[in-house]
Structure formats: C-alpha cells, structure tokens
Amino acid sequence: MKSEDILVIGGTGKTGRRVVEQLQNKGIEPRIGSRSASPSFDWDNKDTWVDALNGIERMYVTYYPDLAVPGAKEAIESLTYLAKELGVKKMVLLSGKGETEAEACENIVMDSGIGYTIVRASWFNQNWSESFFLDPILSGEVALPMSDVLIPFVDVNDIAEVAATVLLDDSYNGEIIEVTGPELITFKDIVNIISKASKRRLNFYDITLEQYIEGMKQMQIPHDVVWLIEYLFSHVLTNPKNQLVVNDIERVLGRKAKTFSEYAQETSETGIWNQVSVT
Ligand SMILES: NC(=O)c1ccc[n+]([C@@H]2O[C@H](COP(=O)([O-])OP(=O)(O)OC[C@H]3O[C@@H](n4cnc5c(N)ncnc54)[C@H](OP(=O)(O)O)[C@@H]3O)[C@@H](O)[C@H]2O)c1
C-alpha cells in the first residue's frame, strides 16, 4: 500500500487529525480531505471531489457537521457512488449511535459493494474541550437539560485508533464497530470530574430543554446549529440504544477504553480549561 492511497476526510477535525497521526506513526502519509487541504475537498462543492478521491484505495469519512443534518444522506450517497466509480476498495464511515439519519447513511455504504467498516460512536469526551461544551466550562456556569441521563462518553483518541486499525485491516470488513466509553456517566458527574481535574469551581444548573434552546437563541447561535443541538438532545441523548456500554474498543485494540476521568486529567494538563472565557 502506498502512502498516498489513503484519504482522511475531515483530516484536521477531532477524530480525523488523530487518525492522520495514527497513520503517520505507522509511516503512512495520508491525503487530507478538507477545504483547507490541497487538493481541497468541500462537501458543498462536488467539483472538488474527483481530485480529492483520485487514486485513493482506502478512506476514512467524517461528514461535517453531522450525519443527522438535511442533505447529509444525499452527500454520502453521491460520495459513495463516486468512490466506487473511481475504484476505492475500502471505506470507514464515522457514524453516530442511535441516530436514524446516520443509520440511513451507514446503509448506503453497506449496500455499495465497496469493502467497509462502520465506526458507530457515542458522544465524544472532546465535546468538552474542542467543541460546543467548552464555552460553558470556561465561563464556570454550566446549564444543561437532562442532567441525569446516563451516557457512555467516548474518547476521540480511542475512536481514531480503532478507525486507523480497521482502515488498514480488511478482517474487519462488513462490521459495525460500536465505540463507547467504559462507563455510563451523567452531565452532573462530568462537571464534577472536570471541576476536580481543573481545580476550578463550576456551577451546574439543571434546566429544561426549552430553556436551553431559548438560551442559545438569545446568544444568537445560528439557526441550523440550534436545530442540530435540539435534535441531538431530544432524539439521540434520550435513545435507550445509546445508554449502553459496548466493549468493541477493547475487542479491536486489546486494551480498555479510556475513562472520562483519565481524559479530564490529561486535558486539564493542557491548560485548555484554565483559559479566560471570551463570552
Ligand atoms: N461530537 C460527537 O459527540 C459525535 C458523536 C458521534 C458521531 N459524531 C459524528 O462525527 C462527525 C464529525 O467528526 P469529527 O468530530 O471528527 O469532525 P469535526 O471536528 O466536526 O470536523 C472538522 C473537519 O471537517 C472539515 N470541514 C468542515 N466543513 C467542511 C466542508 N464544508 N467540506 C469539507 N470539510 C469540511 C474541517 O476542515 P476544513 O475547515 O479545513 O474544511 C475539519 O477537517 C459527524 O458526522 C458526527 O455525526 C459526532
């Protein structure tokens, strides 16, 4: 396998950049698929897709922003069709646990005739340090609905290691690998763990989903982002399929998945939670 045969779509994102690092550690320099890469790949501009996929044999696909948004299924359908036409032999799709729309995208890949592995993830730990839960942590005031729902938060480093492994190893072809953390925890637990790890006082407020949505609108968060977050809370978080720990990370990597406390300790050492809030 030549280095340039592998494409990582979203290769500068939360999981993608770690998949790139995993491959580089094995001496493979993959092509990155993103708007800032060269050649550039833009989900919103199909004219960029052929150059990005040309000559590629294996690819890791993360859709931005989420497989649940309108238009995602059509984009995955077109990309998969093009991949087959251009001779791609293996696709690893990052999907979300308990998302009906994501499962529709999985089915497109599974029915394509291309070798595939689906990596189906629960909510990421790194949402608290690299995504939408970081700002409330920095402000010290965390107000969230559904504070007692049990969630098997998973570390993106574990997801990336699994994704890189199955991308290179065809013995996982045809499988759906469910990546979850090793424990079920609540938002309240998480805020306590981050508070202890970062040695900062964090106030937690249990609010309704309606109050949460209203708060985002008042902060003038874009309509499509509010829609996505409302969808994730009302359809994904509460789905009983998501409230289960699965040991696929251990099965693939031969070691236990990272706990939220381990993630919090490592992340606090980077200083990210001790920055001054800008909001
Ligand atoms: N967050 C969670 O808890 C969670 C849980 C389960 C599943 N998921 C799934 O994870 C996927 C996202 O993966 P991720 O978190 O690893 O990625 P991410 O960090 O959300 O994505 C950022 C990457 O996407 C690229 N990008 C942004 N807009 C783009 C566009 N229009 N065209 C092409 N590339 C674009 C960015 O590069 P450029 O800016 O250079 O383009 C960057 O490489 C989603 O499909 C979601 O369904 C997330």
Model pLDDT, residue 200? 96
Model pLDDT, residue 277? 62
How many C-beta neighbours within 10 Å does residue 1 have? 9
Mutate to test the pocket of ligand 1, among 21, 22, 38, 64 (most ligand atoms within 8 A of CB): 64
What is the dihedral sign for C-alpha 254, 260, 262, 266? positive
Query: Are 258 and 158 contacting, i.e. CB atoms less than 8 angstroms apart?
Result: yes
How does DSSP classify residue 160?
Answer: H
Model pLDDT, residue 189? 96
CA of 201 to the centre of ligand 1 (A): 31
Model pLDDT, residue 4? 61
**Does 43 contact ligand 1 (Cβ within 6 A)?**
yes
240 pLDDT band, cuts 50/70/90, is confident
Chain length of the chain: 279
Query: Are 100 and 165 contacting, i.e. CB atoms less than 8 angstroms apart?
Result: no
Q: Which residues have CB under 8 Å from 130's CB, separation 6+?
A: 14
Model pLDDT, residue 179? 98
Segment 89-106 mean pLDDT? 96
The H or E element containing residue 182 is none
* Residue bearing the CA closest to ligand 1, atom 13: 62
Model pLDDT, residue 198? 96
Euclidean distance between CA atoms 248 and 251, whole angstroms: 5
* Residue bearing the CA closest to ligand 1, atom 4: 123
The angle formed by the CA atoms of residues 92, 90 and 177, to the nearest 5 degrees, is 35
CA of 64 to the centre of ligand 1 (A): 4
**Does 133 contact ligand 1 (Cβ within 6 A)?**
no
Model pLDDT, residue 206? 96
Amino acid making up residue 191 = V
Q: Which residues have CB under 8 Å from 161's CB, separation 6+?
A: 18, 22, 253
The H or E element containing residue 18 is helix 16-25
Q: Identify the architecture of domain 3-121+155-179+244-256 in CATH.
A: 3-Layer(aba) Sandwich (3.40)
Domain limits of the chain?
Answer: 3-121+155-179+244-256
Look up the pTM and report it.
Answer: 0.96
- Which atom of ligand 1 lies nearest, measured to the CA of 131? 1
Mutate to test the pocket of ligand 1, among 8, 15, 17, 34 (most ligand atoms within 8 A of CB): 34
279 pLDDT band, cuts 50/70/90, is low
The H or E element containing residue 206 is strand 203-206
- Condensed to tens digits (0 to 9), the pLDDT of residues 168-224 reads 999 999 999 999 999 999 999 999 999 999 999 999 999 999 999 999 999 898 999
241 pLDDT band, cuts 50/70/90, is confident
**What is the residue-averaged pLDDT of the chain?**
95
Nearest to 251 by CA among 176, 196, 174, 194: 176
**Does 130 contact ligand 1 (Cβ within 6 A)?**
no
Query: Are 6 and 58 contacting, i.e. CB atoms less than 8 angstroms apart?
Result: yes
Could you tell me the two tokens for 277? 């809030």
Nearest to 169 by CA among 157, 161, 180: 161
Segment 86-111 mean pLDDT? 96
- Condensed to tens digits (0 to 9), the pLDDT of residues 128-176 reads 999 989 999 999 999 999 999 999 999 999 999 999 999 999 999 999 9
Residue 2 has pLDDT above 70, yes or no: no
275 vs 277, residue with greater confidence:
275
Query: Are 202 and 134 contacting, i.e. CB atoms less than 8 angstroms apart?
Result: no
First CA to last CA distance, the chain: 47
Query: Are 151 and 185 contacting, i.e. CB atoms less than 8 angstroms apart?
Result: yes
**Does 217 contact ligand 1 (Cβ within 6 A)?**
no
